[in-house]
Amino acid sequence: MTTLSVNLNKIAVLRNARGGDEPNLATAAETCMAAGCGGITVHPRPDRRHVTAEDVALLAAITRGRVELNLEGNPFAPPRSGYPGFVELVRQARPAQATLVPDADGQITSDHGFDLIRDLPRLAPLVAELGRLGCRVSLFVDAGSTDGFEQARTLGVARVELYTGPYAHAFAHGDFAAELHRCVETARRAMDAGLDVNAGHDLDQKNLGPFKRAIPGLTEVSIGHALISEALYDGLHPTVRNYLAILA
Protein backbone atom coordinates (compact mmCIF):
# COMPACT_ATOMS: atom_id res chain seq x y z
CA MET A 1 0.00 0.00 0.00
CA THR A 2 1.17 3.53 -0.76
CA THR A 3 2.13 5.43 2.40
CA LEU A 4 0.37 8.71 3.17
CA SER A 5 2.70 11.26 4.72
CA VAL A 6 0.80 14.33 5.91
CA ASN A 7 2.56 17.66 5.46
CA LEU A 8 1.85 19.93 8.43
CA ASN A 9 3.35 23.16 7.11
CA LYS A 10 -0.07 24.83 6.76
CA ILE A 11 -0.90 24.13 10.40
CA ALA A 12 2.22 26.11 11.32
CA VAL A 13 1.29 28.91 8.87
CA LEU A 14 -2.03 29.40 10.64
CA ARG A 15 -0.38 29.28 14.06
CA ASN A 16 2.26 31.81 13.08
CA ALA A 17 -0.33 34.22 11.66
CA ARG A 18 -1.60 34.85 15.17
CA GLY A 19 1.33 33.85 17.36
CA GLY A 20 1.02 31.55 20.33
CA ASP A 21 0.52 27.82 19.98
CA GLU A 22 -2.83 27.34 18.21
CA PRO A 23 -3.51 25.44 16.11
CA ASN A 24 -1.17 23.09 17.90
CA LEU A 25 1.32 21.24 15.73
CA ALA A 26 1.71 18.34 18.15
CA THR A 27 -2.06 17.84 18.37
CA ALA A 28 -2.32 17.91 14.58
CA ALA A 29 0.41 15.27 14.28
CA GLU A 30 -1.26 13.09 16.92
CA THR A 31 -4.60 13.38 15.12
CA CYS A 32 -3.10 12.37 11.78
CA MET A 33 -1.29 9.42 13.34
CA ALA A 34 -4.43 8.30 15.15
CA ALA A 35 -6.24 8.36 11.80
CA GLY A 36 -3.64 5.98 10.37
CA CYS A 37 -1.20 8.03 8.34
CA GLY A 38 2.18 6.42 7.79
CA GLY A 39 4.29 9.54 7.99
CA ILE A 40 4.55 13.21 8.89
CA THR A 41 6.25 15.62 6.49
CA VAL A 42 7.54 19.13 7.17
CA HIS A 43 9.54 21.55 5.05
CA PRO A 44 11.23 24.06 7.38
CA ARG A 45 12.42 27.09 5.41
CA PRO A 46 15.18 29.47 6.47
CA ASP A 47 12.75 32.39 6.86
CA ARG A 48 10.74 30.42 9.47
CA ARG A 49 7.49 31.31 7.68
CA HIS A 50 5.85 28.12 8.94
CA VAL A 51 7.58 25.09 10.50
CA THR A 52 10.64 26.05 12.54
CA ALA A 53 13.70 24.20 13.74
CA GLU A 54 12.06 23.92 17.16
CA ASP A 55 9.00 22.33 15.54
CA VAL A 56 11.24 19.78 13.84
CA ALA A 57 12.67 18.72 17.20
CA LEU A 58 9.14 18.42 18.64
CA LEU A 59 7.86 16.33 15.74
CA ALA A 60 10.94 14.11 15.79
CA ALA A 61 10.17 13.21 19.40
CA ILE A 62 6.46 12.66 18.72
CA THR A 63 6.88 10.48 15.64
CA ARG A 64 9.89 8.39 16.68
CA GLY A 65 9.02 4.71 16.74
CA ARG A 66 5.48 5.40 15.50
CA VAL A 67 5.53 6.78 11.94
CA GLU A 68 8.23 8.06 9.63
CA LEU A 69 9.31 11.69 9.76
CA ASN A 70 10.11 13.11 6.32
CA LEU A 71 12.17 16.29 6.42
CA GLU A 72 12.18 18.36 3.21
CA GLY A 73 14.51 21.18 2.34
CA ASN A 74 17.17 22.77 0.18
CA PRO A 75 20.51 21.35 1.31
CA PHE A 76 22.36 24.29 -0.25
CA ALA A 77 20.54 27.03 1.72
CA PRO A 78 23.11 28.51 4.12
CA PRO A 79 22.49 28.49 7.88
CA ARG A 80 21.34 31.67 9.55
CA SER A 81 19.73 32.84 12.78
CA GLY A 82 16.98 30.39 13.70
CA TYR A 83 17.89 27.99 10.90
CA PRO A 84 20.96 25.79 11.38
CA GLY A 85 20.98 24.45 7.82
CA PHE A 86 19.25 21.41 6.40
CA VAL A 87 21.94 18.82 7.06
CA GLU A 88 22.28 20.02 10.65
CA LEU A 89 18.51 19.75 11.12
CA VAL A 90 18.71 16.17 9.88
CA ARG A 91 21.62 15.48 12.24
CA GLN A 92 19.56 16.74 15.17
CA ALA A 93 16.20 15.17 14.28
CA ARG A 94 17.34 11.93 12.56
CA PRO A 95 14.26 11.64 10.32
CA ALA A 96 13.61 8.42 8.44
CA GLN A 97 13.74 10.31 5.16
CA ALA A 98 15.35 13.49 3.87
CA THR A 99 13.79 14.88 0.69
CA LEU A 100 16.12 17.31 -1.04
CA VAL A 101 14.36 20.12 -2.89
CA PRO A 102 15.97 22.88 -5.00
CA ASP A 103 13.81 25.77 -3.78
CA ALA A 104 15.13 29.31 -3.36
CA ASP A 105 14.49 31.34 -0.23
CA GLY A 106 11.89 33.57 -1.85
CA GLN A 107 9.73 30.87 -3.41
CA ILE A 108 6.17 30.65 -2.14
CA THR A 109 6.30 26.89 -2.62
CA SER A 110 8.45 24.32 -4.39
CA ASP A 111 7.85 24.52 -8.14
CA HIS A 112 10.54 22.43 -9.84
CA GLY A 113 12.85 19.49 -9.29
CA PHE A 114 16.55 18.84 -9.65
CA ASP A 115 18.22 18.38 -13.01
CA LEU A 116 20.01 15.18 -12.04
CA ILE A 117 22.70 15.32 -14.72
CA ARG A 118 23.62 18.87 -13.76
CA ASP A 119 23.08 18.68 -10.00
CA LEU A 120 24.27 15.22 -8.95
CA PRO A 121 27.95 16.19 -8.66
CA ARG A 122 27.01 18.86 -6.09
CA LEU A 123 24.52 16.58 -4.37
CA ALA A 124 26.86 13.58 -4.08
CA PRO A 125 28.69 14.60 -0.86
CA LEU A 126 25.41 15.61 0.79
CA VAL A 127 23.77 12.30 -0.11
CA ALA A 128 26.76 10.50 1.40
CA GLU A 129 26.62 12.56 4.60
CA LEU A 130 22.88 12.02 5.02
CA GLY A 131 23.43 8.32 4.47
CA ARG A 132 26.00 8.26 7.26
CA LEU A 133 23.34 9.79 9.50
CA GLY A 134 21.13 6.79 8.77
CA CYS A 135 18.70 8.76 6.65
CA ARG A 136 17.02 7.58 3.45
CA VAL A 137 17.50 10.18 0.71
CA SER A 138 14.87 11.21 -1.81
CA LEU A 139 15.35 13.79 -4.58
CA PHE A 140 12.59 16.04 -5.88
CA VAL A 141 12.40 15.69 -9.68
CA ASP A 142 10.18 16.94 -12.48
CA ALA A 143 7.85 14.66 -14.39
CA GLY A 144 9.50 14.20 -17.76
CA SER A 145 12.97 13.65 -16.31
CA THR A 146 14.69 10.89 -18.25
CA ASP A 147 18.35 10.82 -17.24
CA GLY A 148 20.44 10.46 -14.13
CA PHE A 149 18.44 7.86 -12.22
CA GLU A 150 21.11 5.16 -12.47
CA GLN A 151 23.79 7.61 -11.33
CA ALA A 152 21.61 8.74 -8.43
CA ARG A 153 21.11 5.15 -7.29
CA THR A 154 24.85 4.55 -7.47
CA LEU A 155 25.43 7.56 -5.20
CA GLY A 156 23.09 6.15 -2.55
CA VAL A 157 19.83 7.91 -3.40
CA ALA A 158 16.93 5.58 -2.52
CA ARG A 159 13.92 7.44 -3.90
CA VAL A 160 12.76 10.27 -6.11
CA GLU A 161 9.68 12.38 -5.47
CA LEU A 162 7.74 13.37 -8.58
CA TYR A 163 6.69 17.02 -8.66
CA THR A 164 2.98 16.65 -9.45
CA GLY A 165 2.03 20.33 -9.70
CA PRO A 166 1.63 20.31 -13.52
CA TYR A 167 -0.45 17.12 -13.37
CA ALA A 168 -2.76 18.60 -10.73
CA HIS A 169 -3.12 21.83 -12.71
CA ALA A 170 -3.98 19.89 -15.86
CA PHE A 171 -6.44 17.72 -13.95
CA ALA A 172 -8.27 20.78 -12.68
CA HIS A 173 -8.70 21.93 -16.29
CA GLY A 174 -9.97 18.55 -17.49
CA ASP A 175 -7.15 17.57 -19.84
CA PHE A 176 -4.53 15.70 -17.85
CA ALA A 177 -3.65 12.64 -19.95
CA ALA A 178 -0.37 14.06 -21.26
CA GLU A 179 0.85 15.16 -17.82
CA LEU A 180 -0.15 11.87 -16.26
CA HIS A 181 1.76 10.03 -18.98
CA ARG A 182 4.86 12.11 -18.18
CA CYS A 183 4.57 11.09 -14.54
CA VAL A 184 4.09 7.43 -15.42
CA GLU A 185 7.09 7.35 -17.75
CA THR A 186 9.33 9.12 -15.24
CA ALA A 187 8.24 6.71 -12.51
CA ARG A 188 8.95 3.76 -14.80
CA ARG A 189 12.47 4.99 -15.60
CA ALA A 190 13.21 5.59 -11.92
CA MET A 191 11.91 2.17 -10.89
CA ASP A 192 13.90 0.51 -13.67
CA ALA A 193 17.00 2.11 -12.14
CA GLY A 194 16.17 0.60 -8.75
CA LEU A 195 14.67 3.72 -7.14
CA ASP A 196 11.41 3.87 -5.23
CA VAL A 197 9.00 6.61 -6.30
CA ASN A 198 7.24 9.14 -4.09
CA ALA A 199 4.99 11.96 -5.28
CA GLY A 200 3.73 15.26 -4.02
CA HIS A 201 2.43 18.74 -4.74
CA ASP A 202 -1.19 19.76 -5.23
CA LEU A 203 -2.48 16.20 -4.97
CA ASP A 204 -6.01 16.09 -3.56
CA GLN A 205 -8.97 13.75 -3.15
CA LYS A 206 -10.10 14.33 -6.74
CA ASN A 207 -6.84 13.75 -8.61
CA LEU A 208 -5.11 11.24 -6.34
CA GLY A 209 -7.11 8.17 -7.40
CA PRO A 210 -6.28 8.34 -11.13
CA PHE A 211 -2.65 9.07 -10.29
CA LYS A 212 -2.36 6.10 -7.94
CA ARG A 213 -4.03 3.75 -10.43
CA ALA A 214 -1.62 4.84 -13.15
CA ILE A 215 1.43 4.19 -10.93
CA PRO A 216 0.50 1.14 -8.83
CA GLY A 217 4.04 0.83 -7.48
CA LEU A 218 3.93 4.29 -5.93
CA THR A 219 5.70 4.14 -2.56
CA GLU A 220 4.57 7.34 -0.83
CA VAL A 221 2.56 10.51 -1.33
CA SER A 222 3.20 13.66 0.66
CA ILE A 223 0.08 15.83 0.86
CA GLY A 224 -0.38 19.02 2.84
CA HIS A 225 -2.06 22.06 1.33
CA ALA A 226 -5.12 20.28 -0.10
CA LEU A 227 -5.51 17.93 2.86
CA ILE A 228 -5.42 20.74 5.41
CA SER A 229 -7.77 22.85 3.26
CA GLU A 230 -10.28 20.00 3.01
CA ALA A 231 -9.94 19.35 6.74
CA LEU A 232 -11.25 22.85 7.46
CA TYR A 233 -14.64 21.64 6.23
CA ASP A 234 -14.64 17.96 7.10
CA GLY A 235 -12.25 17.62 10.05
CA LEU A 236 -8.66 16.43 10.12
CA HIS A 237 -9.22 12.81 11.21
CA PRO A 238 -11.94 12.06 8.60
CA THR A 239 -9.93 13.74 5.85
CA VAL A 240 -6.87 11.61 6.56
CA ARG A 241 -9.11 8.54 6.51
CA ASN A 242 -10.53 9.60 3.14
CA TYR A 243 -7.05 9.79 1.64
CA LEU A 244 -6.13 6.41 3.03
CA ALA A 245 -9.25 4.93 1.45
CA ILE A 246 -8.26 6.36 -1.93
CA LEU A 247 -4.76 4.92 -1.66
CA ALA A 248 -6.17 1.52 -0.67
Catalytic positions, written as ranges = 43, 72, 201
Residues 17, 9: contact at Cβ < 8 Å? no
CA distance 104 to 131: 24
Cα–Cα dist 228/41, whole Å: 13
* DSSP three-state, residue 218: coil
Rounded-to-integer distance, Cα 190 and Cα 202, Å: 21
